[in-house]
Structure 1
Amino acid sequence: MTTTEAPPRAARQRRTARNAQTNDYFDLVERANAAGLMGRRVGWYVGRTTLVAAALALAFTLLLTLGHTWWQLAVAALFGIVFTQGAFLAHDGGHMQIFASGRRNEWFSRIVGNLVVGLSIGWWNRKHNRHHGHPNVIGKDGDIATGALVFVPGQEQGRTGILGWVTRRQGWLFFPMLTLFGPVLHANSVQTLATVPGIKHRGAEAVLLGIRLIGFPALVLLTLGPALGTAFLAVQLAVFGTYMGATFAPNHKGMPLLPKDLKIDFLRRQVLTSRNIRGGRFVEWAMGGLNYQVEHHVFPRMPSVNLRHARPIVQDFCAEHDIHYTETGLLESYGIIVDYLNRVGLGHADPMDCPIVAQYR
């Protein structure tokens, strides 16, 4: 006859803590369900999609009828804004927020993302899903991977020449560099479709993306001529890139970075690395509901229009469980980002100094 030894006390304590943290999250989910916030809001999305379609139709009408005038640059800016609003819709579809059917969500995102915005939804979903699973986790979240900018302290070392000069001033250069973000997003989409295996409906994406990335510039150049047409496309891309970057950057940049081996539960990982942006309905519209980033990360499938109602529920829950909840104004968040990037670029910031991270090590 054999007996099974009881697990060591420390192991039992860790298991009990994990179970308690899991129960915490399910308790929060139950509160959101009880408030009716997890249900679909198809009618609201129909209205939102109709407004974006109407704005896109207006932009095309102005492009084709306004004539050869430098006022067309204002139309270019309008296109940049509308494309970004379209990206917010594709994002929500990618999170299965719009329809109960996963297939309908996928095709909605595929059509809007590729044909309207010019972004491969196959590329976006792969990148964005990794981010949601491991927000601000060093080595796992591609959104903080080193590229033109350095987000992780220590990775600025060894950058010399022009790249080193940029890195040491990257906070101040952040917003000017966002004007180049649009072409980078388009290029990443094309590269993914061309080289990454396993993309669903690759052919459909390629056709839709080709119409957008070839057909739209061709229409602009044929309508406005080479000089004004080139200026038009430059403004449209600059507005699109700046708007996209200025919307997504405040959500996590300058928030705690988590080591890859840090043991932390899902709820706290999402809340501690996310930042909400105050500002009322205008900021909510301008950021596509992503100003409620904490709630979005806790409930990624919740319709974005419901996130404002989830906010007090999550705030109260975090207060009850002593979980740090971050919320700032938009301009304040930009100041935090610029300061953080400058500190990283100069080698002054260390994510391991963060007291929030330290308590979980």
Structure 2
Amino acid sequence: MTREPPGCRRVNLVTLYTFRSITSHCSLPLPERCATSSQDAFFAFHRDLDLVRKFMKPLLIGELAPEEPSQDRTKNSEITEDFRALKKTAEDMNLFESNHLFFFLLLAHIIVMEIIAWFTISYFGNGWIPTLMTAFILATSQAQAGWLQHDYGHLSVYKKSTWNHIVHKFIIGHLKGASANWWNHRHFQHHAKPNIFSKDPDVNMLHVFVLGERQPVEYGKKKLKYLPYNHQHEYFFLIGPPVLIPLYFQYQIIMTMIVRKDWVDLAWAFSYYARFFITFSPFYGVLGAILFLNFIRFLESHWFVWVTQMNHIVMEIDREPYRDWFSTQLAATCNVEQSFFNDWFSGHLNFQIEHHLFPTMPRHNLHKIAPLVKSLCAKHGIEYQEKPLLRALMDIIGSLRKSGQLWLDAYLHK
């Protein structure tokens, strides 16, 4: 029996400092700086509720008086209750129980690819063909490690949060050279408020792209033209997939670890780079190994960007509408049809809707809850979007083109 988590009338004082302290022990999304309910998010993100309450209790500063306004007044209570009943059904179906063999095999196939990559270079030499083969193998292993660290980061493998955090640091740090704390801080903001400007870092495009329907019109009316946004669907191919990981993420991750003095994550990341250069410098030299590493990142970045954007960038992107949890996630996510390849290629993120509704549910169970989610959507007249893989990828370009045209029209005529 669990007690009620921080609800719609309770106010917790969570500064950025305390948020970082809390997220070193749990996966708490960045809280709202307003009076809004966090109950469904609280249940969605955490397996061990008592552990989180231990950190939240000292931060409770009071409750809103009955006459104080709450931003929950526009939320649909019927949908909220139905969703909570659905979550209870999922628990009764044991859909939050993970198959440890499944995740072991995922890790094993990543390690096997690493071994094959080393064998290819050591046996065939460092010619162009073996180098390209090795780069594609390592890019594949990096992409798959990215999906696997995502599982552990969401605490969806082990019942104990501690074990999830340990393996998460190993995979994202030692196998990928990135930071678990950087990922947690960024990714859980995205999950808490997907596609919400100023709250979801994944839609902070640093003036490089304009997204959705509101932002391009606002930029156009203000005559903001950092780039020719009516051509963003074209320059996306040049400065989107090619540079996100090798330039932006790689720099941001390293600087974040240094600035925040996150020495543990930095040590894990160092172990990755040490292993990489010890393995490949004998074949390419130090400079060649650096170029080889960035080429692998370049290939992986294409994979990552296309998969992650096909579920979100084509959906509603706007300011905070203060919807209930279920409606918020459905407005910002869509699915891609299931197949063995699609599941593997996307790390089961083709079930993005179900993943956003139930972040701690192991990915191999997402397809089991999908029919029940569809039924709930049909009951409340909420669109449940699912599409073929190629169409989902093409829709990214269509969405960028549409937003670019909205900007151009507003820029010229409003």
Question: Does the pair score TM above 0.5?
Answer: yes
Letter in structure 2 aligned against 1:138 = F
- TM-score, with normalisation over the residues of structure 1? 0.84
CA distance in 1 between counterparts of 2:256 and 2:133 reads: 32
- Aligned pair 1:69/2:127, yes or no? yes
Q: Does 1:322 align with 2:385?
A: no
What's 1:311 paired with? Answer: 370
The reply on whether 1:164 has 2:227 as its aligned counterpart is yes
Task: Return the letter of the residue paired with 1:141.
Answer: D
Counterpart residue type for residue 237 of structure 1: R
Partner of 1:196: 260
Equivalent pairs, count: 333
Change (3 A) 1:264 1:349: farther
Give the distance between the partners of 2:98 and 2:231, measured in 1 at CA.
Answer: 45
How far did residue 330 of structure 1 move? 1.7
Cα deviation, 1:92-127, whole Å, max 9, x if unaligned, reads 100001111101101111110011112211111100
Q: Partners of 2:278 and 2:224 in 1: how far apart?
A: 39
Deviation string, structure 1 residues 181-235 (Cα, Å, up to 9, x no partner): 22222211111111237xxxx2221112123245525643431247865653343
C-alpha distance after superposition, 1:315-334 (max 9, x if no partner): 11211222111111122122
- In the other structure, the counterpart of 1:359 is none
Whether contact under 8 Å (1:252, 1:274) holds in the other structure is yes
Structure 1 runs not aligned, ≥5 long: 1-6, 351-361
1:19 equivalent in structure 2: 77
Shift of 1:159: 5.0
2:282 and 2:223 map into 1 onto residues whose CA distance is 46
Report whether the alignment pairs 1:175 with 2:237: yes
**Structure 2 unmatched runs, 5+:** 1-65, 410-414
Please give the per-residue CA displacement for 1:280-330, whole angstroms capped at 9, x wherever unaligned: 111111000100000000110000111111111211121122211111112
Q: CA RMSD in A?
A: 2.6
Q: Secondary structure at the match of 1:301?
A: coil
> Of residues 89, 109, 125 in structure 2, which corresponds to 1:31?
89
Native 8 Å contact 1:40 1:97 kept in 2: yes
Please tell me whether residue 241 in structure 1 is matched to residue 301 in structure 2. yes
In the alignment, residue 56 of structure 1 is paired with which amino acid?
E
1:87 corresponds to 2:146: yes
Which residue of structure 2 lines up, in the alignment, with residue 205 of structure 1?
Answer: 265
**Paired residues of 2:75 and 2:322 also in contact (CA < 8 A):** no
Q: How does 1:325-340 map onto structure 2 within 5 Å?
A: 325-340=384-399
Percent of residue pairs bearing the same amino acid type: 24
* Offset from partner CA, 1:54-93 (integer Å, 9 cap, x none): 1222112223332121111121111011011001111110
The structural deviation recorded for 1:263 is 2.5
**Per-residue deviation, 1:22:** 2.3
**Which SS does the other structure have where 1:291 is aligned?**
helix
**In 2, distance between residues paired with 1:93 and 1:23?**
29
Distance in 2 between residues matched to 1:349 and 1:285, nearest whole Å? 39
Q: 1:229–1:73: structure 2 CA closer, same or farther, 3 Å change rule?
A: farther
User: What does residue range 58-137 of structure 1 map to in structure 2 within 5 Å?
Assistant: 58-71=116-129, 72-137=131-196
**Alignment check: 8 A CA contact 2:169 2:179 kept:** yes
* Equivalence for 2:332: 273
In the alignment, which residue of structure 1 is the partner of 2:37? none
Residue 17 to residue 263, structure 1, CA distance change in 2 (3 Å): closer
**Higher mean displacement: 126-135 or 230-239:** 230-239
* Aligned mate of 2:103, from 20, 37, 45: 45
Deviates more, 1:85-94 or 1:275-284: 275-284
TM, length-normalised to structure 2: 0.74
Corresponding residue SS for 1:164: coil
Structure 1 position 347, deviation (Å): 3.2
**Corresponding residue SS for 2:349:** coil
Distance 2:76 2:398 in 1: 35
**Most deviating of 91-100 and 309-318:** 309-318
The separation in 2 between residues aligned to 1:119 and 1:267, in whole angstroms, is 31
